[in-house]
């Protein structure tokens, strides 16, 4: 599997909005460091939520996309939206939960 493959790269706007909503202002250099780390956490949480919902055929397609170097963010977006009718709602639920955890961490 290629390194640094992000199956949810198209969610970067959500991560940036999450930071903004929490009043976190980062320089461009800080964004280069922290946004990929936050995106990786969101991806992990989405994967844990969504992979069990895929059919066997969809899991096969997922594996092919994951093992193809250079699979575009658009290809991943299309896959998820076609595979799961509840994708938008799933994203919202995972992001709400994640943002609540971020707020708890920042409040400490």
pLDDT < 70: residue spans in the chain:
1-10, 106-108
pLDDT of residue 104: 77
pLDDT of residue 58: 96
Question: Per residue in 11-49, is it b (16+ CB within 10 Å) or e — as a string?
Answer: bbebbbebbeeeeeeeeeeebeeeeeebbeebbebbeee
Distances (CA, A) of 92 to 72, 88, 97: 22, 6, 9
Domain extents in the chain = 9-107
């Amino acid at each position: 599997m290629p390194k640094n493959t992000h199956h949810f790269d198209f969610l970067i706007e959500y991560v940036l909005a999450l930071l903004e909503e929490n009043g976190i202002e980062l320089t461009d250099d800080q964004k280069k460091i922290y946004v990929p780390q936050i995106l990786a956490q969101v991806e992990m949480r989405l994967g844990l939520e969504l992979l069990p919902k895929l059919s066997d055929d969809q899991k096969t397609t997922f594996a092919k996309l994951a093992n193809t170097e250079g699979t575009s963010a658009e290809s991943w977006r299309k896959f998820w939206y076609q595979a799961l009718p509840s994708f938008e709602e799933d994203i919202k639920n995972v992001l709400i939960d994640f943002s609540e955890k971020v707020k708890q961490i920042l409040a400490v």
